[in-house]
Structure 1
């Protein structure tokens, strides 16, 4: 299997600059991140939504658009009724789990840019630790005759039932092709936990780890250790998107949406795309990256920080390659050189990521991207004019470039 070389800065077919900088994230809000919230998912969602609206300096009655995940259990009408909103002119949902995160902002930005809505709230809330645990995969789930379950039936009889098991297949092939090691994956985990250790909002606040502790953690699905896997979280996160012009008059510096894209690769099979010529890359992320660079007019060298979806450490490495921060097979050296640290070339997941702060299907990562643009991160690595944010990997995915200036 030979990886296909892709130029992530090349314009993707159909890419346009029409959306760039026409909308901005003006408000962010979240609940606490816990393992047992003691509240319903609707309660969590409403808390996060109200906090984001307050942060934007707006009133619930001004919201006329809502976007969330198809996986979210909190319907738009109940969010609107329980937070004091009025008429909702736009509502939409994005599929594919964590891959939806940046897609919610993309749809909100399109709604604002086209006049379909003026104030759009994106939200995600769940009791993922105390309720339905995504890490269990297909085990013990009710049988159904839908197309997704039929596709999984080709994998589950062979012991490929959970996300960790699915990703282990990709990780092993990546190690074989490029010489990456478990220690390389561990360096990602150590960096994320170091950032979480100084973030009071993170579940793993004041709990950094060493590479030796990573290596000693128990196996989940070889070559994945426990500390290669993101945590499970109860909580909620919301974001407010308005026009770029309106954002200038609100309390916080706007995080302009310089690029917003979604992508699904050829022969995509959710997290089990084993039928491609190569399984050591993430072509859907390459597609997202090419669109983001085409829309924004930026290149990898212009990106000062990144929020990379880190549900499993091995998939952070090919993201760096697909997005043009290093060449194929070079991510292990990029990480070894300390480039993801706060003083490195590309400070990454300054909040601690899903490995260290919380697993909110990537929505908390978008919020950290906004804080970096505002200069308000607890681990602020100097001025950040542009930050790139990614959503779920191994699935149809999405991404954003947030900018300080239009």
Structure 2
């Protein structure tokens, strides 16, 4: 990916439906609400949109365009990387704009991640349409042994990480406690008004070792969206632009299977992060905040190592002593993250990064921040990263 992409595109609009445990809204309704909020936030109209990158497996681009009243779509694509998809969508939108294939791209995501897993007679069915090889692997090779959901799949390599590097539970607890602290400052966070101490975290029951209940993100019905346009056009719109400075994706070897990898702990982000920092011309130490995909606390620890903040197995020291909390050197997931705001596939991480760089994050504002990063993480190890900066 050419470094000429750096600084060519900007995020100019953000929107959120909300984060709920149960809603009577369909996935499409949630996505449309978040999309319209993002378009209005940018000071634009649906007729200004000419590119749509939809959420993989749930709602198609033509459904979104038709309901919004978008007159012409010049560009569409659909990254198929699970939780790495929103950041991949941002990268894809930036490429389309830099190449002249579109002028203004909408990137929404939404799902019924709580209610679809608890079917009721009056509930709309889950429209997930994934056909990835990974899910065939799970069905045929993992499920017969009782590994039927994400905590069991992830435990296959997170337990190796914990045992091999003697990672203490307090390291994972530092992630959970920081996210919960930050959620108390966010009126939209699902876990607002529900603080968490380290002792309370350590007392939560194991789901499957090493994962306690406190290590797992919250299931949520939700949607969020961003609008991306050119750097030139962004200067004339409603808010200070948030510039796309660098980004990349990476994939573990092999992406469709876990237990036969040559290195089970090497993530896609290990490959992607150096390329993204090089594109942006910055270093990990230059970041003012970190919005790190946190489906599980131990995954966030591995990502911090992949980003270059610690050697393999060293993230436990990195997260000590409040370093990742507001007021620390590297505030992490200042909105509460997937752990405590809601599981919106990480699009909420991008929305929060935009608020931070607009200096519009309220009580959770990182003082004078100018640059930060967002990561994405897909089952089991696809990685994406975007470096974002405060525009002029």
Stretch moving more, 174-183 or 23-32: 174-183
Q: What residue is the counterpart of 1:361 in the other structure?
A: 345
Secondary structure of the corresponding residue to residue 68 of structure 1: coil
Aligned length: 380
Among candidates 382, 393, 396, match of residue 367 of structure 2: 382
Whole-angstrom CA distance in 2 between matches of 1:147 and 1:79: 27
Q: What residue is the counterpart of 2:33 in the other structure?
A: 47
Residue pairs, 1:292-331, within 5 angstroms:
292-331=276-315
Q: What residue is the counterpart of 1:122 in the other structure?
A: 107
Among candidates 378, 382, 391, match of residue 396 of structure 1: 382
Whole-angstrom CA distance in 1 between matches of 2:203 and 2:331: 26
Whole-angstrom CA distance in 1 between matches of 2:306 and 2:166: 18
Q: What residue is the counterpart of 2:121 in the other structure?
A: none
Whole-angstrom CA distance in 1 between matches of 2:286 and 2:259: 33
1:146 deviation in Å?
7.3
**1:195 counterpart = 2:182:** yes
Whole-angstrom CA distance in 2 between matches of 1:171 and 1:266: 17
Secondary structure of the corresponding residue to residue 93 of structure 1: coil
Whole-angstrom CA distance in 1 between matches of 2:349 and 2:32: 19
Asked whether the equivalents of residues 250 and 271 of structure 2 are also in contact (C-alpha less than 8 Å), the reply is yes
Q: What residue is the counterpart of 1:333 in the other structure?
A: 317
Secondary structure of the corresponding residue to residue 4 of structure 2: coil
Residue pairs, 1:202-241, within 5 angstroms:
202-241=189-228
1:161 deviation in Å?
2.0
Spell out structure 1 runs of 4+ moving beyond 4 A.
none
Q: What residue is the counterpart of 2:23 in the other structure?
A: 37
Residue pairs, 1:71-82, within 5 angstroms:
71=57, 73-82=58-67
Q: What residue is the counterpart of 1:56 in the other structure?
A: 42
Whole-angstrom CA distance in 2 between matches of 1:228 and 1:149: 23
Asked whether the equivalents of residues 100 and 397 of structure 1 are also in contact (C-alpha less than 8 Å), the reply is no
Q: What residue is the counterpart of 1:69 in the other structure?
A: 55
Among candidates 247, 253, 256, match of residue 266 of structure 1: 253
Whole-angstrom CA distance in 1 between matches of 2:381 and 2:263: 15
1:63-106 residue CA offsets vs partner (Å, 9 max, x unmatched): 000002322x2221221121221111111101021111200101
Whole-angstrom CA distance in 1 between matches of 2:328 and 2:365: 12
Whole-angstrom CA distance in 1 between matches of 2:285 and 2:63: 44
Q: What residue is the counterpart of 1:285 in the other structure?
A: 269
Q: What is the aligned-residue RMSD (CA, Å)?
A: 1.9
Q: What residue is the counterpart of 2:125 in the other structure?
A: none
Residue pairs, 1:171-182, within 5 angstroms:
171-182=158-169
1:132 deviation in Å?
4.2
Whole-angstrom CA distance in 2 between matches of 1:59 and 1:399: 29
Residue pairs, 1:147-162, within 5 angstroms:
147-152=133-138, 153-162=140-149
1:21 deviation in Å?
0.7
Whole-angstrom CA distance in 2 between matches of 1:18 and 1:213: 48
1:302 deviation in Å?
1.0
Secondary structure of the corresponding residue to residue 275 of structure 1: coil
1:149 deviation in Å?
4.1
Asked whether the equivalents of residues 253 and 262 of structure 2 are also in contact (C-alpha less than 8 Å), the reply is no
Question: Structure 1-normalised TM-score?
Answer: 0.90
Structure 1 segments unaligned to the other structure (5+ residues): 1-14, 134-141
1:145 deviation in Å?
9.4
Secondary structure of the corresponding residue to residue 20 of structure 2: coil
Whole-angstrom CA distance in 2 between matches of 1:241 and 1:132: 32
Question: Structure 2-normalised TM-score?
Answer: 0.93
Q: What residue is the counterpart of 1:248 in the other structure?
A: 235
